[in-house]
Structure 1
Amino acid sequence: MTTLDFAALRETRAAHPERLAEIFAARVRRPLIKDDGKLFIVAADHPARGALGVGSNEHAMADRYLLLERLALALARPGVDGVLGTPDIIADLALLGLLDDKIVVGSMNRGGLKGASFEMDDRYTAYDIHGIVRDELDFAKTLVRVNLTDPGTTLTLESTAAAVSEAADAGVPIMLEPFMSEWVDGAIRNNLSTDAVILSIAIASGLGNSSSHAWLKLPVVRDMDRVMASTTLPTLLLGGDPTGHQSDTFAAWDSSLQLPGVRGLVVGRSILYPREGDVAAAIDIAASLVHGA
């Protein structure tokens, strides 16, 4: 990936920050949905929440240059439709010239920092709808963790409802990633049982004064047919932190992608930092599952 001009990126950030607005304005955009109706989005919004780990490596995503190289590799592979990130990541990719003809998803609430006592108070500290419209991005994304024993959930739900309403007014598709969450030994754990995922969908789907532009981003769990029977919203599947054998993960994705309402994948760590080490191969397999060989 020696073609990435990091020196020019740093110089532009320091001396010509106005160039970023020009790049966004000139970016070649594409339709959200193309012929097969599927999307494969690579996610990279984890660092802004203080989540740098992948598997047993707690600092896997700490090297920004390595992350950008892997994102560049992903965006160059056939079948990758776009990228999801916070403003810093999206700006880096724009300055490197990597966002033309790609779906760009702006991540919004990153304030519930991993491991913090206030983790459930998931403040909107990254993109807002105004910023997404300003930069002519294609999609918004929110994290909606619901903890019935933590009052921080109230602000998250209220802020998310406002974001969903603003997205509908602006005509911006917005991706809701809901979980039922709980405190376990001082840390937040998402409940990935089928019933908990269905409950989280019911809560998230009712947020805002209009669901016209709402999508879901859901984990792959047991009985995904029951999960998908609980919603009519277009749904993308998330990858999560890689565990177990990669072949088992791909098989679970493949099965779930066949269900009605499932529109594709939004995957980050499990393909950018695959356990088997071959980034391009992991990306190509995931792309083939979404779009076909």
Structure 2
Amino acid sequence: MDLTEGLPGRDIVDISWQFNEMMLPKSEEELALVRRAAAAAEAACHAMVETAAPGVPETEIYAAVLSELARHGCGVRYPTLILNSGFPSLAWGPPRWTTTAEPVRRLAKQDLVMAEIFPTFGNAEVQVQMSIAVGTPHPTVAQCAAVARASYEAGLSVLRAGTTFQELLHAMEQPLREAGCWALTPLVHSLNPQAFLGFTRVNAEDAAPVPALPGPPPRHVPELSGSDLVLPAGATLAFEPNACVGRTRVVSGGTVIVTDTGYEETNVLPCRMRTVHA
């Protein structure tokens, strides 16, 4: 039975937006859980760097990351772990071998290994975006990495309690606009809850060749979700700037806490692309 039919004469109002806003500011106790999860994510990123090398199968990196999170007493959100490798590649999702009967890919020189890690502690979630270049990065990879880092820094430069979500996104878009890059996934979104998403359409016309690739085309959102949201102190954000040129993509970033005077970075290692010697 439809809910409105079961409750005749009652007005039903959707308050999910207001509820999400109410949930954004976290107490000190909740922020302590966030920092604990972020420390586990940092350790998992170290494990990625230590494991990545030519000839290493993706399974070894996958196991190293999840083992480190378990060692820190953390759980993981769906889809457990996003992990892809290769060059060039726009793939973003769980490794193919988790859902298909195919050989596990092994890393090769000039590969780019990218992961999105979702640890939770006490039901508080963080997200980090770890990118590793195997050997000397291709010039296009280096360009995308520099733009992603510039977007990260641009976001921090305007972030503080009272900044609107739209102001934050516009700041993070600017390096992509200037460099002629586009973005496949959000540049930033809220955490706890993950309700406010910062997708961008900057240079979207340059993504036109991408729909010919396997899988869905880049996502274009009609309106920015949460554009008028004023960020409160204690809000947790996933900074995940990604820069794409053609079929090459680099993503980096970690979890940031909004404060009255600025911000608190809870991660360091994943906030720029790292390189391991081939």
Bucket of the pairwise TM-score, normalised by the shorter protein: under 0.3
Name the TM-score, length of structure 1 as normaliser.
0.25
| Larger RCO, structures 1/2 (Cα 8 Å, 6+ apart) | 2
Structure ID, larger Rg: 2
Name the TM-score, length of structure 2 as normaliser.
0.26
